[in-house]
Structure 1
Amino acid sequence: ADHSYSRWGARVWVREKEQLVPATVNSCGDGTLVLTTDYGECTFKQKVTREKVYAMHPSSIDGVEDMSALAELHDAAIMHNLYQRYQKDNIYTNIGSILAAVNPYKQIAGMYDMERVHLYSKHQFGELPPHIFAVANECYRCIWKRHDSQCVLISGESGAGKTESTKLLLQFLSVMSQNSAGTPLAEKSTRVEQAIVQSSPIMEAFGNAKTVYNNNSSRFGKFIQLHFSECGNIQGGCVIDCILSLTALLDFSHLPTFMNDLCS
C-alpha cells in the first residue's frame, strides 16, 4: 500500500464534506494525521484510510499548462491547477484544444501588447504557453491549411471575460490582416477592421447593464462573421446580436397608468 501521504510535508487530498481539498501533512503518528488545507484550516484525521486521505500526484503538485496531462481527473484537481496558475498570473490554461481563462480583474503588464501578438503569430498551437492569441493564430493558420471556415465559441458566466476575449481575438486577427495586406505601420488598421472592432463599444452602450458580479455585463449575445480574402486580409464582416432573455427587456408602456393608480 502507498503510505507516502504519512510523511511530513507531503501533499495530499483530504475528503471533507464529500469534497476533496488540497492539504499538507504537518505531523503524523499513532495513526493520526495533522493537516493544513490550502485554505488555512487545520484538521485532524484518525484511523486514516485511502478513502479519507491519499497522496497528491506530482502533476497536481507542480501544475500543468494542459489539464489533459493531469493524472488525477476530478473537480478538485482541475480547480487546484487553475488556482495555482492564477496565483502566478497565468490566467490561461489549455484543456486539449479548449482554452480556459480566469478573469484576473486587473491589468497584467505585457499580456496583450504587440510584442506578444507577433510572438504567437510565429508559433503553432501548443508551442508557447496557453493564450487567447494562440487560439486566434490557430484559427488564422487553419483557414489556409484546411481551406475551411473556422469557428470560436466563447462561453462563461457573467463577468468571466467573454466580451474582452472577443475583442482580443479581433485585435489579433486585425493585426494578421494588416500584415498580409502590407498595411503601412503608420496606419493602424483599414476602415473595415476599424468598423468591426469599434462596433463593440457602440453595442455595449445600448445593450450592457450593471449586475452584482459585473459592472459592464452584456445583456445580449453576439455572432461575429469575418470574411478573409485569398491573401489573408479582412475584406468584410457582420455582427448579429441576439437578446439573451425576455427578462432583459423592460416595458414602460404602462408606467403612467401605474403611477396614476398609485397616487390615487
Structure 2
Amino acid sequence: GAHVWVREKEQLVPATVNSCGDGTLVLTTDYGEQVLYLQQAEVTRERVHAMHQTSVDGVEDMSALAELHEAAIMHNLYQRYQKDSIYTNIGSILAAVNPYKQIPGLYDPERVDLYSKHQLGELPPHIFAVANECYRCIWKRHDSQCVLIGESGAGKTESTKLLLQFLSVMSQKSAGTPPSERSTRVEQAIVQSPIMEAFGNAKTVYNNNSSRFGKFIQLHFSESGNIQGGCVIDC
C-alpha cells in the first residue's frame, strides 16, 4: 500500500494504507503496527497526506529529505537504525544512534583504512569519515580543528575513543611506523580513560556507565601529520 503521514494525537506518524473502500480508510502505523480506521469525513489533508519518496526510501544525508519536520527526521533515523546503519549525516553534522550492541566490522582496521582514502561524503556516514576530515584539514590546510560530541547516553565516550583510534593510526602512517609498533601517545590517552571513568562515571537511566564530567582532549600535530603530544583535562 501507499506510504502516508497520519496525524494521530497531535503527532505525525508514518503509516501504510491497507485498504480504502466503503467510506473507510484502513491504515497500519509503522511503529507498533497499530491499525487505524478513518471514516471519509476524517480523511483531510491536515489528517492524512502522502509521504515523499525520500522519506519512504530513507537517505544517508538528512539535508536531502524533501520533508523537513521532526517526524520525517525520526523516521529516517529509525529506518537506518533497523538496518544497523547507526550513522546519518545532516550536512556536515554526524548523527549517531547508540545501537546498544556490537556491530561486526563497523570499526575494524579495514574500515579505518577505507575511510582514510576517501573524502567526506564519498562513503556512507561514519565517525571515521569525520575523523579523517579533521585530519585532512589539520595536515593539508594547517587549520586547528574542534569536534563537539553531545547528547547524554548517545555514546560520547565511545565516539571519542573511536576518533582517537583513527587519529592514532593516521599519525603512525604519516611517521612511517610499522603496524607492529603502533603504540602512541593517543593510545596512552585511551588507556587512562577507565581511570577517570572509575571516579567520574555513574549508572543512569540511559546507560550503566554514563560520564558525569566533561572532558577536553587536546592533541598537537607536527607538519608531517604525526601526533607530538597532547593533554586531557576534566571539567
Normalising by structure 1, report the TM-score: 0.83
Deviations 1:203-259 (A, max 9, x none): 111111112221101010011100001111110001111xxxxxxxxxxxxxxxxxx
Q: Is the 8 A contact 1:226 1:236 kept in 2?
A: yes
Aligned length: 228
- For structure 2, the residue ranges without an aligned partner over 5 or more in a row are 34-39
2:189 aligned with 1:204: no
Q: Is the 8 A contact 1:63 1:81 kept in 2?
A: yes
Task: Report deviation, 1:158.
Answer: 2.8
Q: Is the 8 A contact 2:165 2:187 kept in 1?
A: no
1:79 partner SS: helix
Q: Is the 8 A contact 1:32 1:48 kept in 2?
A: no
C-alpha distance in 2 between matches for 1:213 and 1:195: 25
1:158 partner SS: coil
2:179 partner SS: coil
Task: Report deviation, 1:159.
Answer: 1.8
Task: Provide the alpha-carbon RMSD of the alignment.
Answer: 1.4
Moved more, 211-220 or 96-105: 211-220
Task: Report deviation, 1:160.
Answer: 1.1
1:186 partner SS: helix
Moved more, 143-152 or 130-139: 143-152
Question: Which has the greater radius of gyration?
Answer: 1
C-alpha distance in 2 between matches for 1:37 and 1:93: 23
C-alpha distance in 2 between matches for 1:183 and 1:153: 30
- For structure 1, the residue ranges without an aligned partner over 5 or more in a row are 1-8, 242-264
1:46 partner SS: helix
Task: Report deviation, 1:46.
Answer: 4.0
Task: Report deviation, 1:191.
Answer: 4.5
Q: Kindly report structure 1 stretches of 4+ aligned residues shifted beyond 6 Å.
A: none
C-alpha distance in 2 between matches for 1:196 and 1:216: 16
Q: Is the 8 A contact 1:209 1:219 kept in 2?
A: yes
Task: Report deviation, 1:29.
Answer: 2.1
Task: Report deviation, 1:142.
Answer: 0.7
Q: Is the 8 A contact 2:185 2:227 kept in 1?
A: no
2:232 aligned with 1:239: yes
Moved more, 219-228 or 209-218: 209-218
Q: Is the 8 A contact 1:171 1:197 kept in 2?
A: no
Deviations 1:14-67 (A, max 9, x none): 0011100000001112442111101244xxx64411100000000000000000
Q: Is the 8 A contact 1:170 1:197 kept in 2?
A: no
Q: Is the 8 A contact 2:165 2:186 kept in 1?
A: no
1:180 partner SS: helix
| Pick aligned residue for 1:195 from 175, 189, 200 | 189
Q: Is the 8 A contact 1:92 1:101 kept in 2?
A: yes
C-alpha distance in 2 between matches for 1:82 and 1:191: 36
Moved more, 87-96 or 202-211: 202-211
Task: Report deviation, 1:192.
Answer: 5.7
2:89 partner SS: strand
1:119 partner SS: helix
C-alpha distance in 2 between matches for 1:48 and 1:225: 57
RCO comparison, higher one (Cα < 8 Å, 6+): 2
C-alpha distance in 2 between matches for 1:98 and 1:195: 25
Among the aligned pairs, what percent are the same residue? Answer: 91
